[in-house]
Structure 1
Amino acid sequence: MKALWAVLLVTLLTGCLAEGEPEVTDQLEWQSNQPWEQALNRFWDYLRWVQTLSDQVQEELQSSQVTQELTALMEDTMTEVKAYKKELEEQLGPVAEETRARLGKEVQAAQARLGADMEDLRNRLGQYRNNIHIQPGGPVSSTSLALWWPLLNKDSPS
């Protein structure tokens, strides 16, 4: 029993005299302060920042909220066009039947063009969303966003 107590005492004394390793707070040896290395580090930080922005844009485009807002906007616009057409028909009355027919055709043509343009926008947005979904992540997808963005903002021909 005395031997057991002696072993325990020696173990405790040895543990009390032990020194812990100091925490390394110095800069790692492989990281020097060369200007080209600092520029390279800034470049990689920039690429990480661009990737983060790309991921945020991708999440926004893939959200159903964009599609819902686009659909709601299309429905509101079509309702306004129909109301405008009805108002014009009421104002013209029976006196200008020929003008009303021509104006009705023009409004219908404008309504059809507007619907086609909005449908084209919806299709391009869907195509872009599919392209983003297919492309692998990384800085390349960020540059592809810059390449596709002008196509999405392109004005349709009148």
Structure 2
Amino acid sequence: MKYLILILFGFSIIGCDPVDSRLTLINNTDRMLFYRTSTTDSLDGLSPYNYSFEVQGGDTVWDVSRNLILPKDSTHLQIIGEDAWEDFINNDCEDSTLRVFIFTKGVLESFSWNTILKKQLYINKYNLTVENLQESNWKVKVSEPLKTKAVE
């Protein structure tokens, strides 16, 4: 029985698709940030995630498990397939450029998704090609806002 379990476990590992997790967003700020990726130069067509913020006993609880980068931390963006980021960016993204939009918690708390779309309330937008990602070793350093439109 023990050998059967080991054999089944071995087959389950072999059958797994490879994951490309090289693309890393590094939050160099003291703020919690949220991100969305897009294949076009616009937020249009992106649906909102269920961001909810509530205070319980004085602590803030975020109902968000993805697309979040803690202050002075990093996150790996994952896509299924070997060298999948190159394929995705070059074949699926407009102008072979992946866009990463950065938002603050304050914007997501204060505005509806429709208002965020209409007013383009992101604080940074990164236009990423395979070439500049390779040059940066697939690391994108997110710094203080380049855009001042967003409300904190």
TM-score tier (shorter): under 0.3
TM-score scaled by length of structure 2: 0.23
Larger radius of gyration: 1
Higher strand share: 2
